[in-house]
Amino acid sequence: MNNYQDKMVIQWSENDQCYLVGLPDFPGQEWRTHGDTYIEAVNNGVAVLELLIEDYQLSGEPLPIPSILEEVA
C-alpha cells in the first residue's frame, strides 16, 4: 500500500447499512465510496484516492495539500 497522507473518514450509516468513506482533503461530494465491511471500505477508499490522484495528475491540477495532524507536546 502506498504511503498516502490524505485524510480518510469512515463512518457507519444506519440508513445505508454500510460504511461510508469520505476524503475531506479533496473538494466535492462528502462521501466518495462505501463498503459492507470496514476493511472493504478502507480498500475502496484507497482505490478512489488513487483514481483521484491520477485524475489530478492527468489534468495538470495540483493535488490538494493533505491536512496533517500536528502532535502537540
Distance, CA of 4 to CA of 1 (rounded, Å): 9
pLDDT number for residue 33: 97
Q: How many other CB atoms are there within 10 angstroms of residue 40's CB atom?
A: 15
Distance, CA of 51 to CA of 37 (rounded, Å): 21
CB-based contact 19:41 (threshold 8 Å): yes
pLDDT number for residue 68: 84
Q: pLDDT truncated to tens, each residue of the chain (73 aa)?
A: 567 889 999 999 999 999 999 999 998 889 999 999 999 999 999 999 999 999 999 999 999 999 888 877 6
